[in-house]
Amino acid sequence: MVRIVGIQFQKNGKVYDYDTNHLEVQPGDYVIAETQRGTDLGQVFSRPVQTDEKETDEPLKKLIRIATEQDLQRSTENREKEKEAYRICQEKIAEHQLDMKLVSVEYAFDNSKAIFYFTANGRVDFRSLVKDLASIFRMRIELRQIGVRDEARMLGGLGPCGRPICCRAFLDEFQPVSIKMAKEQNLSLNPTKISGVCGRLMCCLKYEQDHYEQTRKIMPRIGKEVITPDGNGTVTDLNIVKETVFVRIANGDANEIKEYPLGMIEKVQAPAYTHDEPPRAVQDSEEGEDPTSADKAADKNPADETQEKNRTLRPAKRNKGGYQMKQKETKKAEKSDISKKEHQLGKPVMRENPNRPAANTAAAEQKEEKVTSWADAVQKAMDSIR
């Protein structure tokens, strides 16, 4: 068993679990503990609790000792040094003309290093600034760039509600906030009304988001028909906080909008489909059979059915070139289509060209006469020899 106590090192900062190391501490006491930055002064935030070591995720660090008057005096001196370091760093930033805004300075408890927090729109080359600060303070210097939310948390301020901002008052971690939360809560999407002093969406949008999500699931949607004590109507608006529904009800020729609590309205149930009476088309035909299937089966030829079965059973083959048999079938189908067209149109008839000139026909007739005269001459010569 180990005794665990919560320690807070910064005001409204994150609480860390520590092993009491057999020290009797109470909430509000100051202690010296080991941190990643070295030894630091912290304040006890909660009462010690005994738990099993196996239940802890990581090995816990132990408290060193209870803070003394000298430790508290040193912490006070460090706060004074931080103010002086802030002024000097501001002068050096202006001297080097760097586009950065200094937010805060933090001294380590043992004066081993000083951390300067700043904000900037982009990357800043502060190497020359670090050299000047190190030569002045004679200690390790760290410059850390932070966001606008961290800046608001360090500086503090008043929110739109008139109270201190939540991140400075009690928030130990920032929660993600989106514009969708403002839409679900029916808030104005004007950036000046839903943004905090940091310029980002207000953290308080996250507080009621779970309630809005759970309530919307049980409430009817806008535009749906519901049953009210005054009759059926249509939902026009919702009040998530009061859990009421605004319904438009027809009153003669006019419409009247009334507000009802969520428990006084009922949703209109859609008519359920019954499987007792099947559709008429299916009822007239046989069970599980399409009414048009009998007509299709009558039109089919048995020879076509055998061909279709053979095609489905015949595996696809490939030739040497890697082309499928389907290409050959398409070529055969094209040839058969051409032959069908020729059969329908009949054999081609050779007709005389009407544009052919008459001189060509006369020359052809003279040529034929010459050929016939030459044959007669040969025949006459043969007869004379005999």
Q: What percent of the chain has pLDDT over 90?
A: 21
How many other CB atoms sit within 10 Å of the CB of residue 157?
13
Q: What is the reported pLDDT for 373? A: 66
The residue type of 270 is A
Q: What is the reported pLDDT for 313? A: 47
Q: What is the reported pLDDT for 36? A: 81
* 3-state helix/strand/coil string of the chain: CEEEEEEECCCCCCEEEEECCCCCCCCCCEEEEEECCEEEEEEECCCCEEECHHHCCCCCCEEEEECCHHHHHHHHHHHHHHHHHHHHHHHHHHHHCCCCEEEEEEECCCCCEEEEEEECCCCCCCHHHHHHHHHHHCCEEEEEECCHHHHHHHHCCECCCCCECHHHHCCCCCCCCCHHHHHHCCCCCCHHHHECCCCCECHHHHCCHHHHHHHHHHCCCCCCEEEECCEEEEEEEEECCCCEEEEEEEECCEEEEEEEEHHHCEECCCCCCCCCCCCHHHHHCCCCCCCCHHHHHHHCCHHHHHHHHHHHHCCCCECCCCCEHHHHHHHHHHHHHHHHHHHHHCCCCCCCCCCCCHHHHHHHHHHHHHHHHHHHHHHHHHHHHC
Q: What is the reported pLDDT for 337? A: 64
Q: What is the reported pLDDT for 362? A: 52
- Interatomic CA distance for residues 378 and 342, integer angstroms: 47
Higher pLDDT, 206 or 299: 206
Q: pTM of this prediction? A: 0.59
When pLDDT is cut at 50, 70 and 90, the band that residue 358 belongs to is low
74-146 and 219-267, same CATH topology? no
pLDDT mean over 351-372? 53
Q: Do 149 and 196 contact (CB within 8 A), yes or no?
A: no
Of the options 3.40.50, 3.30.2250, 2.30.30, 1.20.120, the CATH number for the domain spanning 219-267: 2.30.30
pLDDT tens column, 90-120: 999 999 999 999 999 999 888 888 999 999 9
Q: What is the reported pLDDT for 116? A: 94
Q: What is the reported pLDDT for 202? A: 92
- Interatomic CA distance for residues 386 and 379, integer angstroms: 11
- The residues facing 62 across adjacent strands are 19
- Nearest to residue 92, comparing CAs of 36, 27, 137? 137
Examine the pLDDT at 40 and tell me if it is beyond 90: no
User: Is the CA virtual torsion 214, 218, 219, 224 positive or negative?
Assistant: positive
Examine the pLDDT at 264 and tell me if it is beyond 80: yes
The structural domains of the chain, with segments of one domain joined by +, span 2-67, 74-146, 155-214, 219-267
Q: What is the reported pLDDT for 292? A: 47
Kindly calculate the radius of gyration of the chain based on its CA atoms and give it in whole angstroms: 49
pLDDT mean over 163-167? 89
Q: What is the reported pLDDT for 377? A: 78
Average pLDDT across the chain, whole number: 78
Burial-class residue 103 by CB neighbours within 10 Å (0-12, 13-18, 19+).
buried
Q: What is the reported pLDDT for 382? A: 81
Long-range CB contacts for residues 22-31, cutoff 8 Å, separation at least 24: 23/63, 23/65, 23/66, 25/63, 25/66, 29/66, 29/67, 30/66, 30/67, 30/71, 30/72, 31/7, 31/63, 31/64, 31/65, 31/66, 31/67
pLDDT mean over 129-152? 91
pLDDT tens column, 282-336: 444 444 444 444 444 444 555 555 555 555 444 444 444 444 555 666 666 666 6
CATH class of the domain defined by 74-146: alpha beta
